[in-house]
Structure 1
Amino acid sequence: MSSALKPGLPCKAATVPASRDLVVDFIRVVCMFAVVAVHLLMMGISVDQSGIGVDNPLTSLSWFAQGTWFGQVMPLFFVVGGFASLTSWRSLRRKGGDAGDYLRNRVLRLVRPTVALYAFLTVALWSATAAGVPGALLSVIAAGAGVQLWFLAAYLICQAMVPTMAKLHEAAPYRTIAALAAGAVVVDVFRLGLEHNPWGFDSNPIGLLNMVFVWGLLQQLGFFYADGFFDRFAGWQLVLAAAGCYAALALLTHSGPYPVDMLTNQNPPMFPLILVGLAHVLLVKAFYPVLQRCVQLGWIQKVMFVVGSRAMTIYLWHLPLIIAMFGIALLLRLPFPEPAGVQWWLSRPVFYVAAWVLVLLVSLPLVRLELASTALAPGASRPAMWRIIVATVLAIIPPFVVMRTALDAANATWGLLLLVIAVVLVTGKVRERPQTPMPGRFAGVPAPTASGKGMLPWRRG
């Protein structure tokens, strides 16, 4: 799949195509390790006489908000996703494919693995409800298990834009990215300006427009990366530009209207995420020679292959499995140190390794959904464009709703139904094969029926 979670990194260095940018694959894998680490650290489980408590220990750390300027990797995900998307789109065009082919492939690649997750969540949540799990605790567990699904909605929106944005990039790259930046600023001005309005109007939904402008602009930066734009500059120039991005962030957050915490700026996305993504890609290109030497190491390529070949599966399943891991620890009555305390920090590496072992084990059967071919079956015709568009919309709705309202048993159930319909809509329809004439009959003569219709006149009766 050509996306930020693209699998298929060759296992041996000798098989790596010369045209492949292994640094991009390396970035994806590093981001995946970072995402799992952050989500693990955001779950602080405490057990006392009042029961089981769940909170986010990271928010109590004085340096956490500032640390998100470097640790918030989702903008970089969209940048490297843009690189892969443009590369894939151009390859498809050279082979005679069009926007319908591209979007159909993206829907299948992203939605098929998600169907398995929704099926699991539907069964698990309804079973927990039937077993009498307290509603408040189940709501917290369900919400935690669905936190990562926002990415699917945002990424599908951006993927649907690729054919159009690629054409705009080729025609007017700078005007296109300037228009996206202006759109992001305008949305934020309206959203922040109406935040404390006297009418009690919720301005957050206005910010949803930035799922197009902010994430779309970051994807567009990946187009510039693919075209070699950042290769024009010396390392010191790239570092200086990154420092400028962070200086602008300081002005917009400490002296401006935006939150310092980049996770707070994420849903709906806000303009500072663009600066974070740009700073990250500038630093990547500044230290590109060092990263190139790293990816030539055999053990690093093996890790890149294992994680990169099942990245979508890992991303979708890591949070439910982390929650399940903590549930098992509770059942085994393992000690739970005070969140954010010394003992808690010392125990996190053990839980981190255990989480990765569990995720990789579960990925063994599930990765087939991620790696399954999107090619049409022999004799099948590609679905009509309207079916592909409807399928894309249906695929976006379930994770979008989870992003806005949190996961529960009900929206897991109807979400599963919509996702299955989306996959069915983009599955090619096999043409009916023409009937082969029976031996001894003339080609094109209708076959006899029980009523005699279709028989030659002199054979009736």
Structure 2
Amino acid sequence: MPREPPYFYAPSVPRRFRSAGGNIMTTLTGIDSRRGTTAKTRDRSVDLVRAILLIVVVGLHSIMAGVGVGAGGIVMENALDNLPGFAPVSWFVQVMPLFFVLGGFSSFTQWTRMRERGHSPADYVVTRLHRLLLPAVAVIGTVAAALLVMTIIGVPADLIATAGFRISQPLWFLGVYVLCSALVPLLVGAHERRPVLSLALLGTAALSVDMLRASTGISGLGFVNLVFVWLTVQQLGFWLAEGRCERWGVRTRVAVGVAALLALFLLSVPGPYSPDMYENLNPPTICLILLGIAQLMLFTVLRARLREVAERPRIAGLVNAVGARSMTIYLWHMPVIIALAAGLLFLNATVAVPLPDPLSAGWWLTRPFWLVAVGLAVIPVVARLGWIEGAKRAELFLSGTRMLTPRVIAAVLLGAGAVLVILVTGFALGGAIIALGMLAAALRLVAVTGARSTARSAAVPAHHQ
């Protein structure tokens, strides 16, 4: 997944929100408006690794795109499903646990900074919903329109359904991240009171779901761990943010990481779980928690060196560019990949451009060119649409005193539910329309909440804000 930086990218902040000392501006962006410098607490190593992980996700999804023409017609498949020996490779390229760990770090940092400035849990959640849902409206609306046009011009229904399904698959992250973000204030409080107990309870809940799924044979029960597994991994990020892991010596951290990998090996190779970490993603299992622990330990060991690299001016500039548009990159890369695949099919049909069979020698030889093509196609799309990710948020970051309101809770459920509708329907037109309606309702609810926060803040004397 995409980066949710500890300080939100805001292209501009109205003058009335620039409080004395620049506190609001610093909270939003991590930049002290009086000095033009990055806040001291910003960790560039986290920014760097999250940018790298996002690029890995885009690259891996690009490799997965297997397009060809077989005896039965056009084939559009996940090429890696048929790759022999992919299971051990998946231990290295399954990066979602570390994404959620670093997301937990950023969430902890952002919420605690907002809380120190008098913001309420509702303020935090409204902020997250805007960052996550605004770009989603754009991509879902555009993809639905494109699939409708394909239907009108006579593209075969099965090909449209396959394209919609492939585009919808990465959206699971958005739905889960909406729920995880909404629970950050609650879980940070639990962590601050009982760090070990809160982590243990979430991990135990994830293990219980796995055991219940195995004992009943009802595979659908495993999807409950879309909540418990990722909340557990997010909680690990809270430990990282407080520096708890780095209080241990390097040898201890290495030992913990090795122990986690050993437990993962025993559970997945001779044990009941799949050794393929992508099979353990759908539905999530405790294997991803163990992998996340190992990845966290590796990150802490390499962190000082990563920070040195991340602070180089050119690299910092690239990392900032990716981070400011991370959700846009994540949401749009798959539609771009599918559009490029459709272009290849068109060229094959019109000018007989050959399409090598997925996983053949010729197919692998063309992958570097394919990856470059995807990158070159994603860049202008993100440059054109990235502004949406930073739009209309400043008015939401005003002081509030209330806990989560029914409006905010309803917005969270509508946002996550919209993603669920897309996943279930595979971007069918009716499902896309319903999802867009749910997202519009969620954004309307948080806009009303933001407006009420503005009114409350305006009624408070400046020396109380």
Distance apart, 1:297 and its partner CA: 2.6
Q: Which secondary structure does the structure 2 equivalent of 1:45 belong to?
A: strand
1:205 and 1:4 mapped to 2: Cα distance? 33
Residue identity matched to 2:294: A
Distance apart, 1:130 and its partner CA: 1.9
Q: Could you report, residue by residue, the CA deviation over 1:324-361 in whole angstroms, capped at 9, with x for unpaired residues?
A: 01111222333221211222112111111221221110
Distance apart, 1:77 and its partner CA: 0.9
The reply on whether 1:345 has 2:391 as its aligned counterpart is: no
Structure 1 equivalent of residue 43 of structure 2: 21
**Which residue, out of 381, 398, 403, partners 1:362?**
381
Structure 1 equivalent of residue 254 of structure 2: 239
Residue identity matched to 2:358: P
1:396 and 1:233 mapped to 2: Cα distance? 37
Structure 2 equivalent of residue 422 of structure 1: 442
**Which residue, out of 127, 150, 166, partners 1:144?**
166
Structure 2 equivalent of residue 439 of structure 1: none
Structure 2 equivalent of residue 230 of structure 1: 245
Residue identity matched to 1:335: P
Asked if 2 retains the 8 angstrom alpha-carbon contact of 1:379 and 1:430, the reply is no
Distance apart, 1:430 and its partner CA: 5.4
Q: Could you report, residue by residue, the CA deviation over 1:352-380 in whole angstroms, capped at 9, with x for unpaired residues?
A: 12212211101122111101241328999
1:407 and 1:252 mapped to 2: Cα distance? 36
The reply on whether 1:272 has 2:287 as its aligned counterpart is: yes
Q: Which secondary structure does the structure 2 equivalent of 1:146 belong to?
A: helix
Measured at CA, do residues 206 and 230 of structure 1 come closer, stay the same or move farther in structure 2, by a change above 3 Å? same
Asked if 2 retains the 8 angstrom alpha-carbon contact of 1:7 and 1:311, the reply is no
Asked if 2 retains the 8 angstrom alpha-carbon contact of 1:5 and 1:28, the reply is no
Q: Could you report, residue by residue, the CA deviation over 1:163-194 in whole angstroms, capped at 9, with x for unpaired residues?
A: 11011001100011111111111110000111
Measured at CA, do residues 378 and 178 of structure 1 come closer, stay the same or move farther in structure 2, by a change above 3 Å? closer
Q: Which secondary structure does the structure 1 equivalent of 2:84 belong to?
A: coil
Asked if 1 retains the 8 angstrom alpha-carbon contact of 2:119 and 2:401, the reply is no
Please report the RMSD computed on the Cα atoms of aligned residues, expressed in angstroms.
2.6
The reply on whether 1:331 has 2:332 as its aligned counterpart is: no
CA radius of gyration, larger in? 1
The reply on whether 1:285 has 2:300 as its aligned counterpart is: yes
Q: Which secondary structure does the structure 1 equivalent of 2:445 belong to?
A: helix
Q: Which secondary structure does the structure 2 equivalent of 1:53 belong to?
A: strand
Distance apart, 1:5 and its partner CA: 9.2
Within a 5 Å distance, the mapping from 1:284-433 to structure 2 comes to 284-333=299-348, 334-376=353-395, 385-428=405-448
Asked if 1 retains the 8 angstrom alpha-carbon contact of 2:6 and 2:107, the reply is no
2:310 and 2:278 mapped to 1: Cα distance? 29
After TM superposition, the score normalised by the length of structure 1 is 0.86
1:310 and 1:262 mapped to 2: Cα distance? 27
Measured at CA, do residues 364 and 2 of structure 1 come closer, stay the same or move farther in structure 2, by a change above 3 Å? closer
Structure 1 equivalent of residue 463 of structure 2: none
1:40 and 1:7 mapped to 2: Cα distance? 28
Asked if 2 retains the 8 angstrom alpha-carbon contact of 1:187 and 1:210, the reply is yes
Distance apart, 1:120 and its partner CA: 0.5
Structure 2 equivalent of residue 200 of structure 1: none
Structure 1 equivalent of residue 263 of structure 2: 248
2:429 and 2:199 mapped to 1: Cα distance? 40
Residue identity matched to 1:260: P
Asked if 1 retains the 8 angstrom alpha-carbon contact of 2:205 and 2:228, the reply is yes
Structure 1 equivalent of residue 24 of structure 2: none
Structure 1 equivalent of residue 221 of structure 2: 206
Unaligned runs of 5+ in 2: 10-28, 456-465
Distance apart, 1:4 and its partner CA: 6.1
1:430 and 1:217 mapped to 2: Cα distance? 34
Structure 2 equivalent of residue 453 of structure 1: none
Asked if 1 retains the 8 angstrom alpha-carbon contact of 2:48 and 2:310, the reply is yes
1:217 and 1:378 mapped to 2: Cα distance? 28
1:330 and 1:388 mapped to 2: Cα distance? 45
Asked if 2 retains the 8 angstrom alpha-carbon contact of 1:45 and 1:54, the reply is yes
2:206 and 2:366 mapped to 1: Cα distance? 41
Residue identity matched to 1:181: G
2:131 and 2:296 mapped to 1: Cα distance? 26
Asked if 1 retains the 8 angstrom alpha-carbon contact of 2:356 and 2:362, the reply is yes
1:379 and 1:239 mapped to 2: Cα distance? 43
Q: Which secondary structure does the structure 2 equivalent of 1:338 belong to?
A: coil
Residue identity matched to 2:160: L
Q: Could you report, residue by residue, the CA deviation over 1:287-325 in whole angstroms, capped at 9, with x for unpaired residues?
A: 222212221333322221221110000000000101101
2:187 and 2:97 mapped to 1: Cα distance? 18
1:4 and 1:187 mapped to 2: Cα distance? 31
1:15 and 1:4 mapped to 2: Cα distance? 16
Asked if 1 retains the 8 angstrom alpha-carbon contact of 2:3 and 2:50, the reply is no
Asked if 2 retains the 8 angstrom alpha-carbon contact of 1:236 and 1:286, the reply is no
Residue identity over aligned pairs, in percent, reads: 36
Structure 1 equivalent of residue 458 of structure 2: none
Measured at CA, do residues 225 and 365 of structure 1 come closer, stay the same or move farther in structure 2, by a change above 3 Å? same
Within a 5 Å distance, the mapping from 1:57-72 to structure 2 comes to 57-72=79-94
- Please identify, of 295-304 and 215-224, the stretch whose mean Cα deviation from structure 2 is larger: 295-304
Residue identity matched to 2:374: A
Measured at CA, do residues 249 and 403 of structure 1 come closer, stay the same or move farther in structure 2, by a change above 3 Å? farther
- Please identify, of 43-52 and 370-379, the stretch whose mean Cα deviation from structure 2 is larger: 370-379
2:144 and 2:343 mapped to 1: Cα distance? 20
Q: Which secondary structure does the structure 2 equivalent of 1:376 belong to?
A: helix
Asked if 1 retains the 8 angstrom alpha-carbon contact of 2:123 and 2:398, the reply is no
2:307 and 2:313 mapped to 1: Cα distance? 12
After TM superposition, the score normalised by the length of structure 2 is 0.86
Unaligned runs of 5+ in 1: 196-202, 434-461
The reply on whether 1:133 has 2:158 as its aligned counterpart is: no
Distance apart, 1:7 and its partner CA: 5.9
Distance apart, 1:56 and its partner CA: 2.3
Structure 1 equivalent of residue 462 of structure 2: none
Measured at CA, do residues 382 and 353 of structure 1 come closer, stay the same or move farther in structure 2, by a change above 3 Å? farther
Q: Could you report, residue by residue, the CA deviation over 1:121-174 in whole angstroms, capped at 9, with x for unpaired residues?
A: 221122212222111111111000111110011111111111110110011000
